[in-house]
Structure 1
Amino acid sequence: MFKSISNKYLRYFTIFIYFVILFFCAIELNFLWLFGYTPDMQDIRNPVISVASEVYYSDGTLIGKYYHENRSPVEYNKISPNLVHALVATEDVRFYKHGGVDFYGFFTSMVSTAKGDKRGGSTITQQLGKNLFSTRKRKSQGLIRHIPVLRTVVYKIKEWLTAYKIEHVYNKQQILTMYFNTVPFGNNSFGIKTASLKYFNKTPDVLNPAEAATLIGMLKATSTYNPINNPDKSLQRRNIVLGQMEKYGYLKKQEYDANVAKPLGLDLSFVDNESTGDSYLRQAVEKWLKKWCKDNDYDLYEDGLKIYTTIDSRLQKYAEEAVAEKMKMLQRRFYGIWGNKNPWRDSKGVEIKDFLLKAEQRLPVYAVLNKKYNGDTVQINKYFEAKKKMRVFTWHGERDTVLSSVDSIKYYTKLLNTGMMTMEPSTGKIKVWIGGIDYKYFKYDHVNQAKRQAGSTFKPFAYLTALDNGYTPCDKFTDKPVSISYTYDGKQETWSPNNADFKFSYMDMSLRWAMGKSVNSITAQVTEKVGWDKIVDYAHKVGIESPLKAIPSVSLGSNDVSVYEMVRAYSTFLNKGQKVDPLLVTKITDQQGNVVGEWTLKQEQVISPEVAWLMLYMFRGGMEEPGGTSQALWEYNGLWKKDNQIGGKTGTSSDYVDGWYMGITKDLVTGIWVGADDRSVHFNSSESGEGSHTALPIFGAFMEKVYADPKSGYTYGPFPKPFVKITKEYNCPSPRMARDSGEVDSSWAPVDTSAVPTQQPQPIEPEKTEQKPPR
């Protein structure tokens, strides 16, 4: 066919064109599945911006959806000409002259890139095609994706074909409208309306040239040119966009000069109410799946996935009810203690005078104001002291009020928060996840994001180390002063912990009694005997992942850990010494119902079954030993039926900043933290601020509700019998305490602590307050 062309150059050129056409056709038809999906005309006429993914409880009840809430479409006549001019001048100056692909712009961009001035050659229409149809995502790719250079050529051709189709179906105004409604502006802002409200508190039809240029300037790199996080770079980029607008006649020189001289002029006061359906659980699932989505090229917000979690809807409901009931009560107690006094105090109880100023300076808006007013603190203070209408969280529902910014800081700083997680160790399934008291107002997740001092809930790792290194639950130590010298960071230090009441009984106590009663002095002695380095090793071995300072006070919980880690570590004891990887998601299906992701239990034997069982026996000491710190649970009558057994450990950090409770039943492990988000805000006495008075009541109320529901699947019952033959002595005698005096009864006799006492034990003694590690 080609031989009839006598001119060889023309013949070669014709052959080249012929093969180019074949190549384009092969890409369009996805020949032999080599090139992947290319949008057809039906897709172009009916574009789907995104399909929401859905996340479910384990019983199939819908938890929520993932979709881009911050996407509010607008019509072309609601878009300022300044935005259109800025976009065209910066992204595609020949937009009105080409039919979707600008070959002149493409080749000039290649030349510029070759000279070191890298710039894109994609038209607005091509960018719209990428936004709408994700032509470079893995699901749109074929086998050619494994060939680097050819892969890029195919991407570009698919974008050209898609752009031509778009221009065939839509006019220029419609293309611009779709572009502005789909383009991302960072900070989960999709579309021009959401972005203009978020950054300037204006609708897009009233943006001036400088504001329009700021937003369009972000399109090059939404993080780098974010005006909130990088105001200097954003300002530079804005002025470049303004320069382009002047260059191509969209601004006169006088207008350009006036707009370049303006500050960024952000207004961040817009409150977005579209995320009210969000939750800690929904966000936890997103975070848990982040790596999986990246590895498998899925987008939770666009790909219509169905995600099945391990969360039990009944238990989640009961936990939320228990948290609301007890936290409301705790907040009243907290207000009653401090009254009109400010609760932000140092370790000596002295009010921190510059607390509010530092709180203001940590806010993103402070940097903007500081730049706007050139560091003029008088003007900055006026902003923070100006009264504004706002809606605030209360335990009686949301309330509209008028407060200044500084009053708002005061109000929210005084609110207590919590984190709670329940896991079934035998399956690794997380059954309850409560990241805080209200997601809408407190985004920080107190299950896996927040890390706080664990207090006495960390002591069991010291006793675990002892049991796994030759000690038994019956070995005795004397409650007496302890002083430990050690070297840290090249400095010689001495640590001398006190008990809660700053007294020592000089009594001999078994390890079980000492752990149940939470005696600091004996825990310190155990730490000295087994070595604090070893305690750190064992804590990491059973599930703690946070870095831990290997110092003597580690056993009293001086390090920061998360609720998630603590639940995982405690679950190792109930799971016969096998550490589990907690499961939050079991299965994911795509829009066609195909399983695209599945997770099963992963576990590793890290301590012996014997030591694991002995630790459960030790945990029961909190209920069964005289003065055990879990004994406030006797007040919850709904817990004590059918020989039910519960083990656990309370914890309180220095100055009553953090209150913890770790509860263990025959089936579940639950971890709860309570405190204020700022560590300078705390209770002021053991009667109000200890974990036994803050976190433990939530556990008690929660488990009462679980046991009361026969459909929950969790029943009363004793702890499991020994998993293996127990070679260590454990059924050791404990002294009976006189009911009123608190002294040892001289006629004490051994008691069988292998079963729950039939009568309520003696009054609870104050829980131990951990000492801060030396600095």
Structure 2
Amino acid sequence: MAKKQEKTQDFSKYIRLFWILFLGGFMVVIFLFLLASWGVFGPLPDHTVLENPKTNLATEIISSDGKTLGKFYFNDNRTPVSYDELPQHLVDALVATEDARYYDHSGVDARGTLRAIFKLGKGGGASTISQQLAKQLFHGEGSKNIVERISQKAKEWIIATKLERQYTKEEIIAQYFNIYDFGNNADGIRSASRIYFGKEPIELDVKESAMLVGMFKNSSLYNPRPERNPVGVKNRRNVVLAQMEKYGYIDEKLKDSLQKLDLGLRYSPESHREGTATYFREYLRAFMKDWTNDEANRKPDGSKYNINSDGLKVYTTIDSRMQLHAEEAVARHMPRLQAEFFHQNTPDRNPTAPFLDLDKNQIDALMKRSMRQSERWRHMKYDLRKSEKEIIASFEKPTKMSVFAWKDGKPSEIDTIMKPLDSMRYYKHFLHPGMMSMDPETGHVKAWVGGMNYRHFQFDHVKQSKRQVGSTFKPFVYATAIDQLHLSPCDELPNTQITIEANKFGNPEPWTPKNSDNKYGGTRTLKNALANSINTITARLMDKVGPQPVVDLVKKLGVESEILAVPSIGLGTSDISVYEMVGAYATFANQGVYTKPVMVTHIEDKNGTILYQFTPESRDVLSEEVAYVTVNLMQGVTQSGSGSRLRGKGRDKWRADYREIITGYPYEFTNPIAGKTGTTQNQSDGWFMGMVPNLVTGVWVGAEDRATHFASITYGQGAAMALPIWGMYMKSCYEDETLNISKGDFKKPENLTIEVNCENYNPNQGGDSENSDEDIPEELDF
């Protein structure tokens, strides 16, 4: 009996010990909470910080049709979305995997915490979604020190409960998706869904949502890129799908079918050198830098906006569909043109390749200039403080590098070992494009392609580059003559050589221009002369009106580049940018009203407050009549002149190899088109300016150095170098009926006093059209 009593007493002692330990532990936990709430383990965020947690938000560049073109950011490529922009299965996947009792607790899951304590974490962690958000927002990765980790955990509990009081369950989920770093510059769910699947979050399907939720475990380990861990990511995705089935969000049949599928990754990185409209985005970066530096554009507290972290929204005029059509046209044409250029400039065919018309000393001087202008020279001289001798020697040292190349018609890179000087000479071979498209009435720029690959070629050939414009300048001379002399497109002038004497118009020497075909005689109507770029007719018009009125007109048309008032400008000797030329030509399509090109409509802060609204700039330059007659003249270029291939004419007479260069031919447009080709004296610059009533587009193609060019006019003319890009671009635009690109006539003034129908004007005139470009002559417009 005594033994039995002793055993009972011993058992009760253990019970008391258990309760002492349990209550003591409970009091320790309570005390731990109190210490954390008193700030002993470090300051806690107050309610103002909880309401506005500090996260870096990327500036978003938005197209006119509501698509994201790109972002400006330093480290965080984050654009937040609301809960309503998340698909339900994405939310379900998160709850099923990370916090099954999410809707039943107030920030801390007691059952999960006890389980984690008793099983020492082997049965899974106890962090709720609210706790994980608290960690992401306010202290990041946990410490490995056990004492610090316990204090961090206590702070997480406190912050999590505060978050639960401050926000709804839905808002906490949205914040968690927005804050998480999914790797590969995919900060937040919106960037992640765009980068990994090329779509907005609301468009994600179940298996895609499961993959992204699976990455919450460890986005560095579960990186889906093919060269990283796609197998592990698929396995982790399947765990998420199993959790969704376990908690009744999907059925077993769907789970089994989805687990068999591949990831379906459409990896499209969002970096500053990749993606859509890269050259435009860099122009916009400079625009935004100037805007933020203006003291008139400040935050309420007086500080400057940071375009990399303040979450601005920049609404642009670029149409993402038209931008894509423009980039695709460039990508289709340039590899073919480049292949022909390489074919013609092998060392056997051209010992000075890629240069023409230069001797060895001239080439050496050109390369030395290029060395001094290079980033390598700048870095070694100013950053590394190297001597000139050391810098020059570095250009002769073979180095591992990746160089640009066209492969199977697509941009690619070649890993090689090459002297930097040889790589510079290699890059001198490449032809580059510049293209801009604009609505002439509103001035809204719809497409901007400054080059073929921003990763390797950062120089923008839309606004930065200025090159000789060739015969695309001639319409300015014709417009001046029509304005001053009231000429008709049907008026005839002698096709004979003319000399403008020295000192006339300030010309220092006599000027006697030649026609490209050296053919003279008879007369030409103005329309026929412009269509076939007859230089003698342009010279006669320049002799009648003088160069200064032409310069004055061009300046009113928005051209800011320097233009000397000498007669030879009529043949396109001036250097002008694509941006300026498109703005100037748009005035003709806009009934004589110049509208300054617009790229940004407005800017908003992260809360949607408008910070900037553009103000249109326009001015009357020409009468409607003069503008219409000039357009009518340029319509002749696409009807019977150097732009007639847009109509599909003469293709049976073209050589097969030439058709390969004229990508996309025949275009077979039947609608009214006004335009002008341009080719410089040595075929170093090819232009085409094309217009329909509501869209004006300019294209330039040429090499970095003017000594790099085609040997003959066959391939070096604007109709071969630049016009195909315009043709393919417009075909794509017309095929997309949502764009509403006009196929109608240009607006005709009600009281037109100048006759444009030559049959009514003079039934007996016709003009010599034997030099029409329908037959692809070896010579063309200069």
Q: Does the pair score TM above 0.5? A: yes
Q: Deviations over 1:312-353 (max 9, x none)?
A: 111111111110110111100110111123335465788833
Q: Secondary structure at the match of 1:618?
A: helix
Q: Deviations over 1:450-492 (max 9, x none)?
A: 1111110001000000000122222211111122124499883
Q: 1: CA distance between counterparts of 2:481 and 2:473?
A: 14
Kindly indicate whether residue 318 of structure 2 is the aligned counterpart of residue 311 of structure 1. yes
Superposition map of 1:253-292 within 5 A: 275-277=272-274, 279-292=278-291
Kindly indicate whether residue 419 of structure 2 is the aligned counterpart of residue 404 of structure 1. yes
Identify the match of residue 722 of structure 1 among 745, 748, 751: 748
Q: Percent identity?
A: 38
Sort the Cα spacing of 1:364 and 1:59 in 2 relative to 1 into closer, same or farther, 3 A: closer
Partner of 2:685 in structure 1?
A: 658
Q: Is the CA contact (8 Å cut-off) linking 1:639 and 1:707 kept in structure 2? A: no
Q: Is the CA contact (8 Å cut-off) linking 1:311 and 1:430 kept in structure 2? A: yes
Kindly indicate whether residue 717 of structure 2 is the aligned counterpart of residue 690 of structure 1. yes
Q: Is the CA contact (8 Å cut-off) linking 2:505 and 2:566 kept in structure 1? A: no
Sort the Cα spacing of 1:531 and 1:751 in 2 relative to 1 into closer, same or farther, 3 A: closer
Identify the match of residue 388 of structure 1 among 395, 399, 417: 399
Code of the aligned partner of 1:60: G
Partner of 2:554 in structure 1?
A: 539
Superposition map of 1:123-522 within 5 A: 275-277=272-274, 279-295=278-294, 296-297=297-298, 298-340=305-347, 341=350, 342-345=352-355, 352-354=362-364, 355-366=366-377, 377=389, 380-396=391-407, 397-470=412-485, 471-487=487-503, 492-501=508-517, 503-522=518-537
Superposition map of 1:33-182 within 5 A: 48=54, 50-69=56-75
Q: Deviations over 1:208-239 (max 9, x none)?
A: xxxxxxxxxxxxxxxxxxxxxxxxxxxxxxxx
Partner of 2:30 in structure 1?
A: none
Q: Is the CA contact (8 Å cut-off) linking 1:513 and 1:734 kept in structure 2? A: no
Code of the aligned partner of 1:682: H
Sort the Cα spacing of 1:563 and 1:706 in 2 relative to 1 into closer, same or farther, 3 A: same
Partner of 1:631 in structure 2?
A: 644
Q: 2: CA distance between counterparts of 1:457 and 1:54?
A: 37
Q: 2: CA distance between counterparts of 1:70 and 1:681?
A: 42
Q: 2: CA distance between counterparts of 1:69 and 1:528?
A: 60
Q: Is the CA contact (8 Å cut-off) linking 2:346 and 2:353 kept in structure 1? A: no
Superposition map of 1:756-771 within 5 A: 762-766=774-778, 768-770=780-782
Unaligned runs of 5+ in 2: 1-44, 78-269, 299-304, 649-663
CA deviation after TM superposition for structure 1 residue 42, in Å: 6.1
Q: 1: CA distance between counterparts of 2:616 and 2:607?
A: 26
Q: 2: CA distance between counterparts of 1:639 and 1:750?
A: 30
Partner of 1:709 in structure 2?
A: 736
Q: Deviations over 1:408-456 (max 9, x none)?
A: 1011111111110000112211111001011111111110111111110
Larger CA deviation: 298-307 vs 655-664: 298-307
Sort the Cα spacing of 1:349 and 1:529 in 2 relative to 1 into closer, same or farther, 3 A: farther
CA deviation after TM superposition for structure 1 residue 48, in Å: 4.0
CA deviation after TM superposition for structure 1 residue 369, in Å: 5.5
Larger radius of gyration: 2
CA deviation after TM superposition for structure 1 residue 555, in Å: 0.9
Code of the aligned partner of 2:314: I
Q: 1: CA distance between counterparts of 2:699 and 2:552?
A: 24
Sort the Cα spacing of 1:495 and 1:47 in 2 relative to 1 into closer, same or farther, 3 A: farther
Code of the aligned partner of 1:337: Q
Sort the Cα spacing of 1:55 and 1:367 in 2 relative to 1 into closer, same or farther, 3 A: closer
Q: 1: CA distance between counterparts of 2:369 and 2:360?
A: 17
Q: 1: CA distance between counterparts of 2:450 and 2:75?
A: 21
Larger CA deviation: 491-500 vs 305-314: 491-500
Q: Is the CA contact (8 Å cut-off) linking 2:507 and 2:566 kept in structure 1? A: no
Sort the Cα spacing of 1:369 and 1:280 in 2 relative to 1 into closer, same or farther, 3 A: closer
CA deviation after TM superposition for structure 1 residue 653, in Å: 1.3
CA RMSD of aligned residues (A): 3.4
Sort the Cα spacing of 1:599 and 1:364 in 2 relative to 1 into closer, same or farther, 3 A: closer
Superposition map of 1:542-553 within 5 A: 542-553=557-568
Q: Deviations over 1:17-71 (max 9, x none)?
A: xxxxxxxxxxxxxxxxxxxxxx999669998474311001111111111112599
Larger CA deviation: 585-594 vs 530-539: 585-594
Q: Is the CA contact (8 Å cut-off) linking 1:629 and 1:765 kept in structure 2? A: no
Partner of 1:561 in structure 2?
A: 576
Q: 2: CA distance between counterparts of 1:420 and 1:695?
A: 9
Q: 1: CA distance between counterparts of 2:725 and 2:438?
A: 16
Q: 2: CA distance between counterparts of 1:331 and 1:542?
A: 34
Sort the Cα spacing of 1:646 and 1:767 in 2 relative to 1 into closer, same or farther, 3 A: farther
Q: 1: CA distance between counterparts of 2:287 and 2:710?
A: 34
Q: 2: CA distance between counterparts of 1:43 and 1:489?
A: 71
CA deviation after TM superposition for structure 1 residue 679, in Å: 2.0
Q: 2: CA distance between counterparts of 1:374 and 1:54?
A: 40
Q: Is the CA contact (8 Å cut-off) linking 2:643 and 2:773 kept in structure 1? A: no
Sort the Cα spacing of 1:293 and 1:369 in 2 relative to 1 into closer, same or farther, 3 A: closer
Partner of 1:583 in structure 2?
A: 598
Q: 2: CA distance between counterparts of 1:597 and 1:369?
A: 41
Code of the aligned partner of 1:293: T
Code of the aligned partner of 1:497: P
Sort the Cα spacing of 1:421 and 1:274 in 2 relative to 1 into closer, same or farther, 3 A: closer
Q: Is the CA contact (8 Å cut-off) linking 1:734 and 1:750 kept in structure 2? A: no
Q: Is the CA contact (8 Å cut-off) linking 2:59 and 2:307 kept in structure 1? A: yes
Could you state the TM-score of these two structures normalised by the residue count of structure 1? 0.61
Q: 2: CA distance between counterparts of 1:67 and 1:530?
A: 53
Could you state the TM-score of these two structures normalised by the residue count of structure 2? 0.60
Q: 1: CA distance between counterparts of 2:523 and 2:53?
A: 77
Q: Secondary structure at the match of 1:288?
A: helix
Unaligned runs of 5+ in 1: 1-38, 72-272, 737-747, 771-775
Sort the Cα spacing of 1:578 and 1:290 in 2 relative to 1 into closer, same or farther, 3 A: farther
CA deviation after TM superposition for structure 1 residue 660, in Å: 0.5
Q: Is the CA contact (8 Å cut-off) linking 2:692 and 2:746 kept in structure 1? A: no
Sort the Cα spacing of 1:633 and 1:343 in 2 relative to 1 into closer, same or farther, 3 A: farther
Q: Secondary structure at the match of 2:737?
A: coil
Partner of 2:708 in structure 1?
A: 681
Partner of 2:88 in structure 1?
A: none
Partner of 1:571 in structure 2?
A: 586
Partner of 2:630 in structure 1?
A: 615
Code of the aligned partner of 1:677: E
Q: 2: CA distance between counterparts of 1:688 and 1:363?
A: 30
Partner of 1:670 in structure 2?
A: 697
Q: Is the CA contact (8 Å cut-off) linking 2:76 and 2:309 kept in structure 1? A: no
Code of the aligned partner of 1:532: P
Q: Secondary structure at the match of 1:352?
A: helix
Q: 1: CA distance between counterparts of 2:719 and 2:500?
A: 28
Q: Is the CA contact (8 Å cut-off) linking 1:499 and 1:768 kept in structure 2? A: no
Partner of 1:160 in structure 2?
A: none
Q: 2: CA distance between counterparts of 1:517 and 1:394?
A: 36
Q: Secondary structure at the match of 2:497?
A: coil
Q: Secondary structure at the match of 1:484?
A: coil
Q: Deviations over 1:639-685 (max 9, x none)?
A: 546x5111110001121111100011122110001001122211111
Q: Secondary structure at the match of 1:707?
A: helix
Sort the Cα spacing of 1:349 and 1:720 in 2 relative to 1 into closer, same or farther, 3 A: farther
Q: Is the CA contact (8 Å cut-off) linking 1:448 and 1:563 kept in structure 2? A: yes
